[in-house]
Amino acid sequence: MRNKAQYDLFVRTSPGRLFLKASVPGAIGMLASAMYQTLDGVFVGNLLGDTSFAALNLAMPFVIINFAIADLIGVGSAVPISIALGEGRKKDADRIFTLSCILIVALGAVMGAFLFAMAPVFMRLMGAEGKFASDAVAYLRTYAMMSPLSTMVFASDNYLRICGRIRTSMGLNIFMSIFCGVFEFFLLGICGFGIWAAAFASCTGMIITAFLSLLPFFRGRLALGFVRPVFSFRIIEKIIACGLPSFLNNIAGRLTSIIMNIMLVRYGGEAAVSVYGVLMYADGIVFPIMYGSCDSLQPAIGYNWGAGYPSRVRSIEKLCYSVAASICLVAFLICFLNPDGILSAFIAGEVPSYASFAVTVFAFTYLTRWISFSTQSFMLALERSRYAAVISVSMAFVFPVALLFAMQGLGLTGIWLNFPLTSLLGAVLSVFVLSRERHTIMMKDHPESINQ
């Protein structure tokens, strides 16, 4: 049996109104989360110094790899849950939801223990020494210790949106950002603690937010609810298959960041790592806005696909492409026209002479970035996980690593050029994928009349 509120929202609401109800709150929520991540860099860079800021950026790829496990389950379960609800199979949706939450906590504990033990080894292998290395280890180990509970926040957000609680999701993201920002400033700026306190503030906010997010599910007030867990390898396989593109994107992207950090340490030391960190923080604002806009509509796409309305799926997805393109255009103009302003927000000391050039070159990434992002999201929503995975891995690892080695003779310039060239290659690949899937995308609608 289908939930009427979900059906009215995902099927009956016009694409334009659905965007206002789903994407705008989703984008605001993700922007709030991104703003805290930006403040995290600003606080560490200005209150603890350039070495600590560089250490944060050296450790961050490993932190994101840890979060990628929860994201694998959260994103991977969201697609089959949405489709099951669209087909009226609530019991199946509840089983997938319950199993997913258990998997996130268990895998968070395993991954956290591994990263805690290996943190010094990883930093040493990347060439870090002294305070640079010790700060990076302290930052990573704090995240690792709190991993079993903090990582749940990356999945609970998806589950709230599936149940139509989009404003609740937005409100919790805003709460988390404000709490983390205030708490981190208190620990660093007033108490004078070291870099570990920055990670502790983040994790504390995530744990509280995850608890508040899951509370309505325990009370049985939503379309999804906790049931007695059923450990099915078939369900786990489907979750992994659907979540694999996002997971591979995170893992491959972090592996690429690790390789880049090694080269940056070799070519320019801490200063080059800091400039690269600024680029990632700038992208850390743009990407979540795109992700929040498109990902908030994924439950609607999956629901309509499961209910048998492909033309409505196409209408919603066209909106995703348009919004992503608009966001990227604004990002390009800001980075291209004001590179020095972006740099000064994070680097308190002397800015390297090549830094402004790096930001300007990086700006061209956004001219084509929206194409691969939107196509990957579209393929994932249709359970075309193979195509989504190909785009994901190519964008996050294959293209950038190939370009890194092809242009290593250019030194730091080759690293800055890597970003726009990777984005261009990803756009070409995405157009090819869309041409291959044209027949599936153009399927006829379910005969039942719906509001287009």
What residue type is 329 in one-letter code?
L
On whether the CB atoms of residues 295 and 26 are closer than 8 A, the answer is yes
**C-beta of residue 206 within 8 angstroms of C-beta of residue 153:** yes
pLDDT at 173 (0 to 100): 83
DSSP code for 307:
H
Tell me what the pLDDT averaged over the chain comes to. Answer: 82
User: What is the model's pLDDT at position 60?
Assistant: 84
From 164-168, 202-206, 390-394, the region with the lowest mean pLDDT: 164-168
pLDDT digits (tens, 9 = 90+) for 264-287: 888 887 788 888 888 887 887 787
- Provide the whole-model pTM: 0.65
Q: How far apart are CA 368 and CA 365, in angstroms?
A: 6
The residue type found at 146 is M
pLDDT of residue 448: 46
CA distance linking residue 152 with residue 156, whole number of Å: 6
> What span, in angstroms and rounded, lies between the C-alpha atoms of 372 and 318?
14
Q: Select the more confidently predicted residue: 142 or 234.
A: 142
Closest CA to 214 of 164, 248, 169, 170: 169
